[in-house]
Amino acid sequence: MPAKKPSASSSPTKTKTGAGPKSPTKPKSPAKPKTPAAVPYVLEMEEKGNPESLDRLYIPGMSEYVEGYDAGIPQWLFISGLTIQVDKNWQAKPGDIITVGRLLDGGAVEVFAMKTLAEGEENYNFYFFSVDRKFLPDGPHALVYVVHYSGGPDRERSYPLRVMVKTDLPAGEDNDQIEDGHSGLKFSVSESVIVPGNASSGVKITLQPYPNAHPGDSCIVHWGSSIITTPVVDPLKPTVITVTYQDIVDAGDSDRQIVWLEVLDLVGNISTPSSASVTVSVNLDVTRYDGPALLNAGPIGYVDLEVLNQQPLEVQMFTPSSIGRRGDIYDVIFRAYPPKGGVIVVHRFVPIETAGRPYSAFFDYLDVRAAAGGRIQVSFVLRRSTAPFEIYSKTTHADVRGSIVRLEAPEVEGYPNDQITDDPEHIVVNCPYYAWRQPNDKISLILRYVKSVNDIIVHIETRAVGQSWPAGAPVKRLIYREQLQRFKGYQPELYYVISGTGFTRARAVDLNESLRRALTIS
């Protein structure tokens, strides 16, 4: 059956609620489920069995491994407009019509966007559509595309991609910008002084009910370096998280150990910011020496990025000459916890040349800056040549003051003014180094320009970082003339998206997407 189109217009983009009077000559169709006002039209299709050949569509940046669904769509994907990718898996011809939408009960498709293939576009491997947030309210959806084959009435629907859209952040908005931490995340700690007499019983942390709570949420408690994840079973009741004796031992001793928590939902949205910190005293091993001192960071208990002034963070260790001897080595462990999840671990090794003197280790400013709005902790293991061969320090904790840092925009080598006017064979794009980068991280380099909802030009290349790039070095990617020419005469946005990383399960623009650079291609 042909598509049911509104009031004397063959273009779905011209039909919106209140756009004009309905045709007086066309009788009303039989009653059917009401469609959202902003949706252009409904494509009626016969109820069939499974599609014969068309694979599911794909949403770059979507959250995978979402229980009960094929994927999840978190809030950050809508910030600049959701992109839907249709892979060409049919014998495409000029005049083929691709419609993207939501599958309704009975087999009809609520259409979001449509594209007719122009001459030459049948050779593309992918077709892209930009979908506005208003078309996909929070909740479950089955997303499909329909190909109406050129030269005849035949058409086919793809297999559905079943997604959960969720754009409300756990705990909602932070309504108190003056006090530290999220105003909606309130918790208590059963013990604030941990000694051998009470450590074996563990510690109970109680999170009170918070806004936008859902049964699929996870509460993530940070007890120093120990991370404990507990599901939120009943959003209307307090969630109790147990910090076990082993968790306490693993995190180590500290006179001022920082404890905080955050909430992650099933599609990867994370509470922004995390909770305020509380401090506990942990003293289980009387043989431990004081943790490193932070020399150039600001007040005790804080690292102030303005005070640090883009210089490396200096931490200082000291042990008596009877303990730290010439030839022994300080193994200094720095852990940074960015405000939206994950952990960065860096080691420095400092040999002792003269016993009984303090020694310093230095940690790169970029590693510290990655935790802006979050926390760091530093400790050391003194590795000795005689027994006892390892002596452990207490841990020094600090909150990091400073604005949350976005991934830096990519740069094009040889084009400092971002104007590409000489029709090069290719350009070299540098994706800047980020402190938690892993060889198995996937970086999607994206060049994107939206002409209209039915006409979007996108180039996406996704590749793993690999082992070739040393710490501190950018990852280089090529974009060839063939791809660049599709954007000729426009100003597309160049950026990259990180996925597949073990850094964190959280999905947020601050973590996954770089700042954007506007290129002029002529």
The model scores a pTM over 0.75: yes
Q: Name residues whose C-beta falls within 8 Å of residue 137's C-beta, 6 or more positions apart in sequence.
A: 36, 165
Confidence of residue 38 (pLDDT cuts 50, 70, 90): very low
Write out pLDDT tens, residues 357-412.
Answer: 999 999 999 899 989 888 999 999 999 999 999 999 999 999 898 877 788 999 99
Residue 126's CB is within 10 A of a number of other CB atoms, namely 12
CA 48 to chain centre: 38
Distances (CA, A) of 461 to 263, 401, 431, 434: 32, 36, 13, 19
* 400 in Cβ contact with 368 (< 8 Å): yes
What gap in Å lies between CA 267 and CA 261, rounded to an integer? Answer: 18
Residue with tokens 């059917």: 32
For β-strands 71-73 and 161-165, DSSP reports them as: parallel
Asked if 302 and 398 touch (Cβ cutoff 8 Å), the reply is yes
Q: Which two tokens stand for residue 134?
A: 């208003």
- pLDDT, average across residues 168-184: 90
The tens digit of pLDDT for each residue in 403-455 reads 777 889 999 999 999 999 999 999 999 999 988 888 999 999 999 998 876 67
CB 96 within 8 A of CB 122: yes
Structural domains for the chain: 12-165 (2.60.40.10), 169-286 (2.60.40.10), 288-405 (2.60.40.10), 411-521 (2.60.40)
The mean predicted confidence, pLDDT, of the chain is 87
Q: How confident is the model at residue 154 (pLDDT cuts 50, 70, 90)?
A: confident
Mean pLDDT, residues 260-270: 94
CA dist list (Å): 115 to 43, 86, 147: 14, 11, 10
Query: What pLDDT does 472 receive?
Result: 87
* Residue 335 near residue 257, CB atoms below 8 Å: no
71: exposed, middle or buried (Cβ count in 10 Å: 0-12, 13-18, 19+): buried
Residues with Cβ within 8 Å of residue 439, at least 6 apart in sequence: 464, 465, 466, 467
pLDDT of residue 1: 37
CA 78 to chain centre: 13
CA-to-CA separations, 324 to 22, 253, 316, 328, 333, in angstroms, rounded: 87, 20, 14, 6, 17
